[in-house]
Amino acid sequence: MTKRIRPSAAIAVAGLLATATACSGPPSSPPGFAGRHLTAVHGANGAGGGGGGAFTLLAAGGILPDTPLIDRAAQDADGQGYDFRPMLKGAARAVSKADLAICHMETVYGQQGGPYTGAPAFMSPPEVATALRATGFDSCSTASDHSLDDGARGIGRTLDALDEAGVAHTGSARSAAEASRPALLGAGKGKDAAKVAHLAYTYGTSGAQMPAGQPWAVGLIDRARIVADARKAREAGADVVVVSLHWGTEWQDAPDGAQRTLGRELTASATGRRPDIDLIVGTAHVPQAYEKVNGTWIVYGTGNQIAGPTADHDGAQDPRAGESSMGRFTFAPPAKPGERWTVSKAEFVPQWFDPAAGRIVGLAPASVEAGPGGADLPGIHDRIERVVLSRGAGQDGLVEGR
C-alpha cells in the first residue's frame, strides 16, 4: 500500500491541490443525477425511512481486495469466476437494514477475465461490484490514491461495472459532465422522501498524473472545491449532503492536523443559517475517531472493511488493517422547510475482517469468546471502541449499534 500524507507535509500538499483544482475547476454545468441515475423516491434497500421522512444512512469502510482475497473469491466461486458475496456476508444484515448504505471502493477493476493484481497497483475483479449490490450498498465513493492505478481505462471499467450492478458512484469520472454531478440518491418514501447528495475526494493519486485532457478524472481534496460542489448539490435539491474523504496519515489512529483543520473548515461552511455539508465520512486504513464539530458529525476514518494481511511502514504485519467501524446516522426532517435535517441518532458498528477465512465478523459488545484462529474478539472490539470514542463522541450521543 502507498503511504498517506504525513502531517508535516499535509498543509503544503493541500495548497498544491488547491492550485491545481483552481486551474482545472469543474465544468459549469449544473449537478444532477450520477451513477445509476436513482430517482429521489427511495434508496435501493427499501427498509424503513417512512413516517415523516426520517431515514438511516450507513457508511462502511474501504474495499481493498489484495491478491490473497482475489484468490479466496475464486475459491468461493467454485471455478465460476469470482464471488465476493461470502466475504461481505457478515456486514449484509446491518447494510441492508439501512435506508441508504455507502461504501468506499478503493481499487479499480480489471477487464473481465483478468489479469487481476494486488498491491502496489490494484486491478480487482469486476465481480466486486455485484457483491456490493448484493450486500445492500447503494453508492460507493471511488476517489482514492489507487483511482489511477490503470489510468482512465481503470476508471472506465470500474464505473461501468458499478453501473451494471446498480451501485451509484462518486469521486471519479468518465467525462467532464459526470465529474460535475454528485450521486443524488433518494431516502425514505412518498412525498417526504429525502434527497441525499454523495460527494467524494482524495488527498492524491500516489503520484499518478491525471489522464491527458482529463483533469476532472478524480476529485482532489480542496476546501473551496468541496464547498462549491456541496452548494451545487443543494441547488439541485439535495436535503442532505454527505462528503466522503480519502485522507489522513496511514497507520495513525488519531486524526492528523490536516484532517482536523479541514473538518473544522468544512463543517463551519454555511449558506445562510444552513450548513453546506451534513456529514463527513473519512476513509483511512485503520479506525479513527468520530467527532461532532460545529454541530456536524465527522467520521475521521472507518478503516478497511475488507483487506488482506497488510504490513505497516516498518514491514510488520499490522492486525488493525482488518478492523473497521460502520457509521450509522438517523436523519430527521426539519421543523420548517429549508432548515437542516438533523441527526437524531448516531451509532458506530464495529467489525473485523478475518484475513485467514476471508470473512467479515461482526463484533457484538458482549463478545466473550475467542474468534476464528484464536482471535481476541473482545480485545479487538474494545480497541475499536476506544479509538472511535477518543475525541469525546460519547458525550455528544454516539452509541454502539448492532
pLDDT, tens digit, for every residue of 268-285?
999 998 999 999 999 988
pLDDT interval class at 368 (50, 70, 90): very low
Mean pLDDT of 296-301: 98
Q: Identify the pLDDT of residue 162.
A: 98
Q: Identify the pLDDT of residue 308.
A: 79
pLDDT interval class at 374 (50, 70, 90): low
Mean pLDDT of 102-108: 98
| 350: Cα within 13 Å, side-chain hemisphere | 28
pLDDT at 33 over 70: no
More confident residue, 39 or 372: 372
Grid cell for residue 313 = 511502514
Task: Report the amino acid identity of residue 369.
Answer: E
HEC sequence for the chain: CCCCCCHHHHHHHHHHHHHHHHHHCCCCCCCCCCCCCCCCCCCCCCCCCCCCCCEEEEEEEEEECCHHHHHHHHHHCCCCCCCCHHHHHHHHHHHHHCCEEEEEECCCECCCCCCCECCCCCEECCHHHHHHHHHCCCEEECCCCCCCCCHHHHHHHHHHHHHHHCCEEECECCCHHHHCCCEEEEECCHHHCEEEEEEEEECCCCCCCCCCCCCCCECECCHHHHHHHHHHHHHCCCCEEEEEEECCCCCCCCCCHHHHHHHHHHHHCEECCEECCCEEEEECCCCCCEEEECCEEEECCCEEEEECCCECCCCCECHHHHEEEEEEEEEECCCCCCCCCEEEEEEEEEEEEECCCCEEEECCCCCCCCCHHHCCHHHHHHHHHHHHCCCCHHHHCEEECC
Pairing of strands 194-202, 183-187: antiparallel
pLDDT at 3 over 50: no
Report pLDDT digits (tens) over 315-362: 677 778 899 999 999 999 998 888 999 999 999 999 999 989 999 999
Q: What percent of the chain has pLDDT over 90?
A: 75
Query: What is the pTM (predicted TM-score) of this model?
Result: 0.87
Tally of CB atoms within 10 A around 55: 30
Q: Identify the pLDDT of residue 163.
A: 98
Q: Identify the pLDDT of residue 9.
A: 29
Mean pLDDT of 67-84: 96
CA distance 240 to 277: 7
CA distance 197 to 181: 9
pLDDT at 290 over 80: yes
Q: Identify the pLDDT of residue 87.
A: 98
pLDDT interval class at 40 (50, 70, 90): very low
pLDDT at 220 over 90: yes
Q: Identify the pLDDT of residue 373.
A: 61
Report pLDDT digits (tens) over 190-217: 667 899 999 999 999 999 999 999 999 9
pLDDT interval class at 365 (50, 70, 90): low
pLDDT interval class at 172 (50, 70, 90): very high
Q: Identify the pLDDT of residue 284.
A: 84
Mean pLDDT of 287-315: 89
Give all domains of the chain, ordered by start, each with its CATH number: 7-400 (3.60.21.10)
pLDDT interval class at 251 (50, 70, 90): confident
Mean pLDDT of all residues belonging to the chain: 86
